[in-house]
């Protein structure tokens, strides 16, 4: 007579199968899932505290922004804004009311007006960035976003903790214009200057050369 496997063995086998599937799966709640928006790119100038949206190689719109008040860099815990070529990895907040407050990338149900006193949360929309170079490789783990801020009076000067802040109406407008996979070039100099950094960003290339 054939012995049937015990319930304990069956349960362990099922757990093993689940574990095997988990080990071969790439999907996690925070895994990267890029689209293929190659028409649009954003050029963020730390000097100008402005962002230019470029479509098919031509300037389309310019927005006032804020980068980090702690300067530029990519070290975890530094609260700095990274330089270089990044990409929009995730878009969060579609159809959320303007001024919607987000905590851990989820709407809290609260809605803030611009310049609400004593408040500085993430609002309206989130574009989660991922680095493509060694100098910005920690961006996704550091949760570097382009996002709305209620502190709109501070736009135009460095005020963030590493992210790129925008006004609520501006970030909603940008969100609707671009897709995941769009490039974001964060440059040290001015968008208006004729230099290799700006020209390379317009061309969709990076001037970064890692140290040998």
Q: Measured between alpha carbons, how far is 89 from 86 in angstroms, rounded to an integer?
A: 9
Q: Measured between alpha carbons, how far is 179 from 38 in angstroms, rounded to an integer?
A: 9
Give the active site residue among 159, 163, 164, 191: 163
Task: Write phi, then psi, for 20 (nearest 5 degrees).
Answer: -65, -40
**Residue 14: exposed, middle, or buried by beta-carbon count in 10 A (0-12, 13-18, 19+)?**
exposed
Kindly calculate the radius of gyration of the chain based on its CA atoms and give it in whole angstroms.
21
Q: Measured between alpha carbons, how far is 88 from 35 in angstroms, rounded to an integer?
A: 9
Q: Is 60 designated active site?
A: no
Q: Is 147 designated active site?
A: yes
Give the active site residue among 147, 152, 164, 183: 147
Residues assigned a catalytic role: 147, 163
């Amino acid at each position: 007579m054939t012995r049937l496997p015990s319930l304990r063995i069956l349960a362990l086998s099922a757990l093993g199968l689940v574990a095997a599937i988990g080990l071969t799966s790439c999907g996690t709640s925070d895994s990267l899932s890029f689209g293929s928006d190659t028409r649009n790119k954003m050029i963020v100038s730390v000097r100008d505290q402005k962002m230019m949206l470029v479509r098919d190689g031509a300037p389309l719109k310019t927005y006032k922004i804020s980068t980090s008040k702690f300067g530029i860099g990519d070290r975890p815990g530094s609260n700095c804004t990274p330089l270089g070529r990044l990409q929009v990895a995730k878009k969060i907040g579609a159809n959320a009311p303007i001024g919607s407050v987000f905590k851990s990338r989820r709407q809290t149900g609260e809605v803030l007006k611009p310049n609400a006193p004593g408040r500085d949360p993430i609002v309206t929309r989130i574009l989660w960035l991922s680095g493509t170079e060694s100098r910005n490789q920690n961006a996704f783990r550091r949760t570097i976003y382009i996002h709305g801020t209620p502190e709109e009076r501070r736009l135009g000067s460095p005020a963030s903790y590493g992210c790129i802040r925008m006004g609520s109406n501006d970030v909603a407008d940008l969100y609707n214009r671009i897709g995941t996979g769009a490039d974001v070039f964060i440059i040290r100099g001015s968008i208006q200057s004729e230099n290799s950094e700006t020209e390379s960003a317009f061309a969709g290339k990076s001037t970064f050369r890692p140290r040998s």
